[in-house]
Structure 1
Amino acid sequence: MNLIPEQYDKYIRFFKFMAKYWNSDVFAMPDEDAVISDEEKSIEEYEDSPEELVEDLKAMGPTYVKLGQLLSTRPDLLPPHFMKALATLQDDVDEVEYGVVEEIFKEEIGLRISKAFASFDEKPIASASIGQVHKAVMHSGKVVAVKIQRPNIRKRFIEDLDTLMHLSQKAETYSETARDYAVHSVIEELRYVLLKELDYSLEAQNLSILKENLKEFKYLFIPAPISDYCSSRVLTMEFVQGNKITQVSPLKRIEMDLDPLVDDLVKGYLKQIIVDGFAHADPHPGNVYLTPENKVALMDLGMVAKFSNKMQENILKLMIALSNYDSQRVNEVLLSISEYDENKVDESLFRKSIERKIQESENQKAKDLKTGRILIEINQLAAKQGIHIPVELNILGKILLNMDQIVAFLSPEYDMHNTVKNYVQELMQQRMHDDLKPGNMMELFLEMKELTENLPFRVNKFTENLAENKIKIEVDAIDEQRFTDAFQKVANRITAGLIVAALIIGAAMLVRVPSSWNIGGYPAFAFILFVIAALIGFYLVYQILFKDDFRKNK
């Protein structure tokens, strides 16, 4: 990518921004003081205030506003006081003229606005960097929200993203700090998320999926898209009446029992993450409304998080360990899914830090326990020590942190920790039950069938290679006596297995031979051979399942 003249301004603005903040607290790796508290330090203690960073990002343009919003979900990259400011980052943009809105709608949908709707408010009810939202009424009487994408916004975003991609790649080439922060990966993630968010047809699809996934929760509401009036630049969906969840009046919070709503909200997000693997990734209070029907409405599905089956299992294990204050298990799960250099990372120090963090949370009262904050702090501790925890756990921490804020506002005495603990255990039981369904059992039987079919060939091949001295074993260090004992044990068990097989085959053949001495209707000698084979088999199974495990633990 060459520095052509019209790109000069983008590069100059970027370098001015970096020159201002390079040596500031923005790029200071979060330490324990930062982890412990955001509020204990005053703004004057920081060289550049979070509010100043927010204003500078706004001046840089909508792409950098989105970058700031993305960084607000990365506690491993920024100190908490900057994350808090970036989480509320919204750009100040002018409204798109109604004539342009009408033109875009006709171009995308193929109808004039006056034909599609009985009425359409020319004044937008919300305006952001990517698009603006208008209220409309369909000919059926249904009230809808129509989101129209800004003209040429895709081109502007792609140009800015290309600039950032080029600069981040060069930065990692020459700067160790940039490599430590994985700057290029952060920009790649921004590009992926942003290009998805620019496609409104994907957001319409996300709304439909989430509405179906959460249909069992009667207090949750997901606006349905109007598919005939949706495209990559136009999104039409049910209009959500009500107020932001954090604007509920104190009187209503006193008069109403909001615990059932909070229950559904918390369980709904746990189901999204652990069961469905498809979650609303930006549940800040501005995207969560309370409707007149006293339902919690989730909006803005432009950003969603997806979790693989393996990651869902790991998150389930982690949540169970956290709910039981099992620091050893938390450490095992985190280290098993993280990337780190064993030669550079002090694993014992990390384990000790996590143990202290879990012990601190165990001594807190249930209503003061913040599961999301604990995960954020664990991420920060890991980042400080060079352990790269999967980004999915950052998203999980951010989601639960937002849940903490909403729950604390709606029902300050609500025991969120207990709800998480009980529901996670319920999900664990459900997952175990699902594993026993006929479809899953059939898959297990097929695996066992394949193993049974291939086992004789593999044993034969192994013994053949063993006889021809073709077996090679590579080890870093050998305890000769233990190695010899282990090898002898394997040889003995293979021999015993062959003897069992020979006894069974011989007994099967003798069953067909007439005999005057029978036991239970079978030739006595064949019956005895079967009994001997069974006893040897049971003994081998006992040795494998119990004795070997005991020796290993010892």
Structure 2
Amino acid sequence: MKRIALFRIWIIVTMFARFIIKIYAFSRKQQQGLASTEEYEALMLNLAREYKRNALRLEGLLIKLGQFLSIRADLLPPSVLNELSELVDRVPTSGWDKSRAILEAEWGVPYTQVVKDVGIDAVASASIGEVYGATLLENGKRVALKIQRPDIEKIIRTDFKAMRVVTTMLKRTSLAKSTDLDSLYRQMIFVIGDELNFQTELKNAHYFKAKYADNPDVYIPDYYDHLCTNRVLTMDWVEARRITDLAFLKENNIDRSALAERLFTMAAEQLLFGGQFHADPHPGNVQIRADGTIILLDFGMVGSSTAQDMATIRKILQAFISLDYDGVVDGLEDLRFLLPTANKHNIRQALEKAVTFYLETDIDTVDTKLIEKVLQDIQLLVKNEPIQLPAEFAFFGRAASTLLGILQILDPKIDLFTLGKPIVIQWLESDGTTIQNRYVMTALNYGKKLLNVPPLLDNYLKEPTRKRLSEQAMFQRDLESKELLHRQTFNSGIIILGLLVGLFGYIRPDEWLFWSGCIVAVVAYFNSRRLGRKIRHLARQDFRV
């Protein structure tokens, strides 16, 4: 069933429809002060678990989408991110027989003419590909064969259609105000579409191989281009362990602090100086050999930063040092963090207030009521202004946060500010402008104080809204009316979709599909009538505050 296009679309669309309805119902309850933070966490965790179950059931795009969303800390709470991160390496193998058929179709000859001693049990199985060990006949070397899963391209193309419907549904929610959903959808297609073509991964691997050709501390496996196709990659087998395997590090007398410094330097060079960077550096893709050499694997997910973006970030940092808030806001707009409808004046005022507060106040002794007042202003700004994390920067954030986690495991006492000072100075001066050390130290000192902001902000924003601001009463009523219209339109779509599924079940015939579609259509019809009555009731109300 999971390979039937209509079935996949139906499961994906209805799942997200349930999510939207449940989240909307909770938000209404929260606005009335009837919901707690614990209830919100429980709701989101239940939704994440339902998503994970369906992802493991259907596989395909839901697995990749879950991994993609697991980097969007700007969209989802930590509990959801943690649940979705478990989708990595949880995909069951499709079996050697199916993989062998793909391998021979791509090579055009029986695989026994190219390799021997193939391990028929996959050593790794992900959403798009599986890895098997083998020995090359041409040179006797042990190699890893990465083979695309059967029918995965067809499955993912079908799932793209379902996510197009989901994106249209999400445009009718408050999420559309703070997120460029079309950009997010295009980025998803671009990134995952690239992963379907193994030639792109091969190209990325050659880029990093050349980048670290003269660096003895980093190793990229050699690829056999004549045995690589759109669906098969052949590379040298690497005997290594996860870089976070502390027992292995101790056994081989590898200095954890020195290793953390080397990894930090390598990552900073990738992230700060433009070009490509490894966007999925989890411990399975960053490994260590017994001699201390760092191994980089799997270049299917690679991000890129342009020299222009890096120059803009430098300008933002310099504007921040000189307290030029207009310059900071202009830089954020240039980096696409602000949507066209954003009120730059409001953002500047909030930024100035927050930065001044945190840089001039002792966080440990300040009155908590004052903290709440500042954070309330920030919360209102984030809620009302269209501020977003551009999709391309999400990969930057994922890489940085993942590497930070590895560094903390390797050396819990690592001083990132001291370690980063030389490379930050080099980065700031890379455009030819000399920056005095005192400005860098100022920025680093500010950064140390600002590290206190995320925990405080996170704790506060998790608190449910206790009351509405009186000046927003009219806006809220108008929003409710529009939301009802959107829900009625959505219900009309569900009616049509339910009837189509019922028709498909009748033609197939499939009794389960037939009755499921009919029941959904009937429920959506009566719900649409109920919404119509609410809309007419609102239209007769006096909207004066």
| Matched-pair contact (CA < 8 Å) for 1:217–1:264 | no
CA distance 1:158–1:421, shift in 2 (3 Å): same
Determine the structure 2 residue equivalent to 1:423.
423
Determine the structure 2 residue equivalent to 1:407.
407
SS of residue in 1 equivalent to 2:221: coil
Residue 348 of structure 1 pairs with residue 348 of structure 2: yes
Task: Please give the TM-score of this superposition, normalised by the length of structure 1.
Answer: 0.64
Determine the structure 2 residue equivalent to 1:165.
164
270, 273, 285: which one aligns with 2:271: 273
Determine the structure 2 residue equivalent to 1:122.
120
1:297 CA displacement: 1.4
Mapped partners of 2:330, 2:73: distance in 1: 21
1:148 CA displacement: 0.6
Any residues of structure 2 matched to 1:181-196 within 5 Å, and which?
181-196=179-194
Residue 46 of structure 1 pairs with residue 42 of structure 2: yes
Determine the structure 2 residue equivalent to 1:516.
none
SS of residue in 1 equivalent to 2:406: helix
Mapped partners of 1:159, 1:120: distance in 2: 33
SS of residue in 1 equivalent to 2:234: strand
Task: Please give the TM-score of this superposition, normalised by the length of structure 2.
Answer: 0.65
216, 219, 233: which one aligns with 1:218: 216
| Matched-pair contact (CA < 8 Å) for 2:133–2:143 | yes
SS of residue in 1 equivalent to 2:144: strand
Determine the structure 2 residue equivalent to 1:486.
none
SS of residue in 2 equivalent to 1:136: strand
Any residues of structure 2 matched to 1:15-414 within 5 Å, and which?
15-24=13-22, 45-49=41-45, 50-90=48-88, 92-139=90-137, 140-169=139-168, 171-172=170-171, 174-175=172-173, 177-178=175-176, 180-249=178-247, 252=250, 255-317=253-315, 328=325, 333-337=331-335, 338-340=337-339, 341-343=341-343, 346-352=346-352, 355=355, 359=359, 385-414=385-414
CA distance 1:189–1:393, shift in 2 (3 Å): closer
1:238 CA displacement: 1.9
| Matched-pair contact (CA < 8 Å) for 2:49–2:83 | yes
| Matched-pair contact (CA < 8 Å) for 1:165–1:184 | no
SS of residue in 2 equivalent to 1:12: helix
| Matched-pair contact (CA < 8 Å) for 2:96–2:122 | no
| Matched-pair contact (CA < 8 Å) for 2:274–2:307 | no
| Matched-pair contact (CA < 8 Å) for 1:27–1:77 | no
SS of residue in 2 equivalent to 1:22: helix
SS of residue in 2 equivalent to 1:168: helix
Mapped partners of 2:350, 2:283: distance in 1: 33
| Matched-pair contact (CA < 8 Å) for 1:331–1:354 | no
Mapped partners of 2:237, 2:67: distance in 1: 25
378-387 vs 196-205, greater mean Cα deviation: 378-387
| Matched-pair contact (CA < 8 Å) for 2:61–2:160 | yes
| Matched-pair contact (CA < 8 Å) for 1:274–1:315 | no
Mapped partners of 2:104, 2:151: distance in 1: 16
1:327 CA displacement: 8.6
Unaligned runs of 5+ in 1: 1-5, 30-40, 365-377, 435-554
| Matched-pair contact (CA < 8 Å) for 2:187–2:391 | no
CA distance 1:236–1:135, shift in 2 (3 Å): same
Mapped partners of 1:381, 1:411: distance in 2: 37
1:382 CA displacement: 5.7
Mapped partners of 1:342, 1:168: distance in 2: 22
CA distance 1:239–1:53, shift in 2 (3 Å): same
Mapped partners of 2:244, 2:66: distance in 1: 23
| Matched-pair contact (CA < 8 Å) for 1:350–1:385 | no
Mapped partners of 2:63, 2:380: distance in 1: 23
SS of residue in 2 equivalent to 1:236: strand
Mapped partners of 2:317, 2:242: distance in 1: 29
SS of residue in 2 equivalent to 1:432: coil
SS of residue in 2 equivalent to 1:246: coil
Letter of the structure 2 residue corresponding to residue 396 of structure 1: F
| Matched-pair contact (CA < 8 Å) for 2:135–2:142 | yes
230-239 vs 89-98, greater mean Cα deviation: 89-98
Aligned length: 404
Mapped partners of 1:17, 1:277: distance in 2: 38
SS of residue in 2 equivalent to 1:292: coil
Letter of the structure 2 residue corresponding to residue 199 of structure 1: N
Any residues of structure 2 matched to 1:463-474 within 5 Å, and which?
none
Mapped partners of 1:246, 1:357: distance in 2: 38
1:351 CA displacement: 0.7
Mapped partners of 2:290, 2:383: distance in 1: 43
Identity of aligned residues (%): 25
| Matched-pair contact (CA < 8 Å) for 1:91–1:128 | yes
1:206 CA displacement: 0.6
1:92 CA displacement: 4.2
Mapped partners of 2:156, 2:9: distance in 1: 15
CA distance 1:200–1:325, shift in 2 (3 Å): farther
Q: For CA contacts below 8 A with separation 6 or more, give which structure has more relative contact order.
A: 2
Letter of the structure 2 residue corresponding to residue 159 of structure 1: T
1:18 CA displacement: 2.1
Deviations 1:506-551 (A, max 9, x none): xxxxxxxxxxxxxxxxxxxxxxxxxxxxxxxxxxxxxxxxxxxxxx
CA distance 1:194–1:252, shift in 2 (3 Å): same
| Matched-pair contact (CA < 8 Å) for 1:93–1:128 | yes
| Matched-pair contact (CA < 8 Å) for 1:54–1:89 | yes
CA distance 1:342–1:63, shift in 2 (3 Å): closer
Mapped partners of 1:20, 1:117: distance in 2: 49
Mapped partners of 2:395, 2:197: distance in 1: 21
Task: Please say which structure displays the higher CA radius of gyration.
Answer: 1
| Matched-pair contact (CA < 8 Å) for 1:168–1:187 | yes
Q: CA RMSD in A?
A: 3.7
SS of residue in 1 equivalent to 2:303: strand
1:123 CA displacement: 1.5
1:251 CA displacement: 6.8
Deviations 1:32-66 (A, max 9, x none): xxxxxxxxx76884224144443343334321111
